[in-house]
Copies of this chain bind each other. A is one copy, B any other.
Amino acid sequence: MTLSGGSRPGSRVVAADHVSLRRNNLSVVLRHVRELGPRSRARIAADTGLNKATVSSLVAELVERGLLREGMADSTRALGRPGQLVELDGSGVCGVGAEINVDYLAVTALDLAGDTVSERRVPIDVAHLDPSTTLDRLAELIHEAVAAVDARNGQLAGVTLAVPGLVQGHTGELKLAPNLGWSQVPVIREMRRRLGDPSYPLHVDNEANLAALAAYSEMHKVEPVQDIVLLTGAVGVGGGVVSNGHLLRGGHGYSGEVGHMPVAPDGRVCGCGRTGCWETVVGLTALLHKATDEDDPVRDPSLDVEQRLAEITARAEAGEPRTLTALSEVGNWLGIGGAILVNVLNPDVLVLGGYFAVLGPWLQEPLEAAIRDRVIAPDGGGCRVVRSELGFTAAVRGGAQISLDQVFVDPTLIGREEAGVAQ
């Protein structure tokens, strides 16, 4: 129901003045071109309802700020002199995402158009290092990414850290990350010091939240989905929820802890100390316990996870019965927990990330069957299951994007006269 869907009984009361109106309209034009592609000023005016003179002035300012640029002549125009298309520029405006995970560090810089400016991924055994050493190494990788942005005279919109745990965003503290063995680490304070107290914004967020934003952003380019749930499959299992186009964070920012839903009351003990968490029946460790013997090298956590998954894939392709049985069981449990999420959240799409995406060809059928069986709404609530194509870069891409998104909300954050100087 459109009517009640838009009803916001408690939403904040905000009055518009002429400064915020201008800023809003700059944002409208910039986002319009991002979402719908190159177009003429006249077309922007017609699409947005703004008048042509206003659009010309807004476009001129966005060009000065390096966010739009003149494109080709408008070939769709039948009469009169051809208009000029304007298109997204932003090649000089970058955001950085930096991830700490159980067995790797990763850093990616994207420009405003979503193109990759730099990308690094380094294997590391975080659980066996002290947090300080890990943060030192991540700071080095961030320095490299910032240098790559500087090298193209770019402006840095911000850096967002991705961590696999409970984050208190307003203090920048990582409260708990069971699979890293970290608790109450003030990651933003520590990282700010290591980066030399930089002037760009620095934030921290849950990796599954950021991966969900990245997946949402990719999907939204192709189709108008508004509601997705992303599952990150590794030793730990995380979830990110995008609801009506917005990341669902919850009252204290602790939402999406799907790995610890109690679904198997008689199940195994979890890394968090509890019994029967979903993670204990669908996490990578659960799969390996079912599929392999104790001395099987694919259980060795010091090997790269992608190599180990390639071996499992090879066995499944060869029809090895124990592997196939294990994948089928995990797929069924994935569907039981998935059905909970679909009953509660009714997403358009359930996105499989991490190892779930890699082994998706064997997980997906039992998963979908369990969802069809278990979801009360007809046809599984209309929810599709898809495998993410972002692999293990989803969280860093989401981190870079969330920093860049601020520029789309307020284009005046980016300086007007020369790159690198914000006004």
Contact = CB atoms under 8 A, between A and B. Distances in A.
A252 B256 CA distance: 20
B15 A261 contact: no
A225 B17 CA distance: 28
Given A4-B160, A9-B401, A251 B274 contact: no
A409 to B, nearest CB: 7
Interface stretch (A61-69, A82-90, A289-297, A370-378): A370-378
Given A227-B251, A254-B346, A262-B336, 15 more contacts: A7-B247, A13-B35, A15-B49, A166-B376, A176-B377, A227-B250, A239-B344, A241-B344, A250-B346, A252-B381, A254-B376, A255-B345, A257-B376, A258-B344, A262-B340
A287 to B, nearest CB: 20
Copies in the complex: 2
Nearest to A277: B376
A10 to B, nearest CB: 4
A262 B374 contact: yes
Interface string A325-350: 00000000000100111011111110
A251 B402 contact: no
A49 B17 contact: yes
A226 B10 contact: yes
A9 B382 contact: no
B348 A251 contact: yes
Contact of A250 (B32, B262, B381): B381
A116 interface: no
A53 interface: no
Given A340-B261, A401-B9, A376 B176 contact: yes
A50 to B, nearest CB: 5
A416 interface: no
A248 B243 contact: yes
Interface string A159-173: 010000011011000
Contacts of A377: 166, 175-176, 252, 254, 257
B373 A274 contact: yes
Contact of A31 (B13, B262, B381, B383): B13
Interface in A219-252: 220, 225-227, 239, 241, 243-252
Interface in A250-274: 250-265, 272, 274
